[in-house]
Homo-oligomer: A and B are copies of this chain.
């Protein structure tokens, strides 16, 4: 076998059997190797931002990485924004980036660039295969890094000649994965002591703490100690809805976030980071916490988070029989009249099927969704974690590949949706069970707010030229149709509810353009 075959077989031996791809000439031997492996599912994205965003959504739901296949430096560059989001979500991803043959590199052919420099900011680990016999080992390393207890981004650079050269290796090997480290009892006790000292305390969590089992334990801990349980502003995956522990998130808007912690004396972090502003604003703080607030970080990077939660419960004497607040199913009455973000949230709370996966890139328009759906059918909630817009449609695509039996609902702002609109084609081709709801307000609405927030004034002609999308208006139904996705437009709450109701009952991709 050649290097490309060995890479491909090593991925498969490690249960990595989906490859989101947009290859070029330098990756043709890897394409040929994939072609010899019917066990590998290859999914084409018509732009690399689709590829990497889909890998993120896939891994968030599959709890294992997909591979990506990217074409040299520019192909990687096109995928970086969504790798940034994946890195912030701590999603495992294994990028295979093609490179010129080693002997060709000194010639500085037109597509040559410094791939490592591009990869570094959005990767935890970068490797470059120097010879085909090294490919087994370096692929195992890429897998081991990606599958660290907290997911990482591995970027493996594959020169064309390394891919096409024969290897003496015969058998792909399973990578030895790193087990999560045991939590430090001193840190658990410090957290427990804080939770018992009677001060105003918030337990701030993310990652595996947001899965149902851990949330129930944390809910009991919060209830027993009187602490407030909160999730980070943005999270890779949060299990919520009826039958689950209702949990609020740190607000995005700076003044609300500061107010939210104004009375907080202590914050216990479990997987989360101390809350900071998404952006800086003149005269406003960077940290959302009061100066005097004490921060207790309960676990280290690679600690076993579920075990740490168990240990904390044990130390605090909290057992599974104790009372807990659980959201009950609440099916709100549908709204009528003008279509608003609130009406959309209500309709979703009403109709969303059980076990949906909600991918949220609704930016400003979707802020109603979260608090209106504590009592919706149980669902997973996936967010834009790194602030790099253009994740929504790809993430939904990948999540649907990971979970073909579940309905994936994209809450999609129009401005952000345009970044990776090519995802709709992949949805059509793969017949993903994705329902996209475009919040068509025809502007970067958040930036109108931010222009005001930073004290930069009221938008004039040049600013509106950069913040508004209304001239011409984007026809989302037309765009979806043109890429093979059926779609409908709603301009009233009633029409939206009708379309949503029937869309929830169908299979395959569908898009609703919600004019708000």
Contacts and interface: CB of A to CB of B under 8 A. Distances in A.
Interface of A: 21-26, 28-29, 31-32, 34-38, 40, 42-44, 46-47, 49, 69, 73-75, 77-78, 80-81, 84, 88, 100-101, 103-104, 107-111, 113-115, 117-118, 120-122, 160-161, 164, 234, 273, 276-280, 282, 286-287, 385-388, 390, 415, 418-419, 421-422, 425, 428-429, 446-447, 450-451, 453-457, 459-463, 465-467, 469, 471-479, 481-484
Contact of A46 (B164, B425, B469, B482): B469
Contact of A276 (B40, B107, B115, B459): B107
A279 B115 CA distance: 16
A128 to B, nearest CB: 15
A421 B419 contact: no
A100 B279 contact: yes
A415 B46 contact: yes
Contacts of A421: 421-422
Contacts of A479: 478-479, 482-483
Contacts of A164: 282, 454-456
B472 A35 contact: no
A26 B279 CA distance: 7
Given A109-B277, A454-B160, A462-B35, A121 B122 contact: no
A98 to B, nearest CB: 10
A25 B281 CA distance: 9
B478 A481 contact: yes
A199 to B, nearest CB: 24
Contacts of A104: 276-277, 279-280, 286
Contacts of A477: 482
Most buried by B among A101, A117, A279: A279
Contacts of A286: 103-104, 107, 109
B419 A46 contact: yes
Contact of A447 (B24, B47, B472): B24
A390 B78 CA distance: 10
Given A23-B466, A32-B457, 20 more contacts: A26-B280, A29-B454, A31-B463, A38-B461, A38-B462, A47-B418, A73-B121, A77-B84, A104-B277, A109-B279, A111-B388, A113-B122, A164-B282, A425-B472, A474-B483, A475-B483, A476-B482, A478-B481, A478-B482, A479-B479
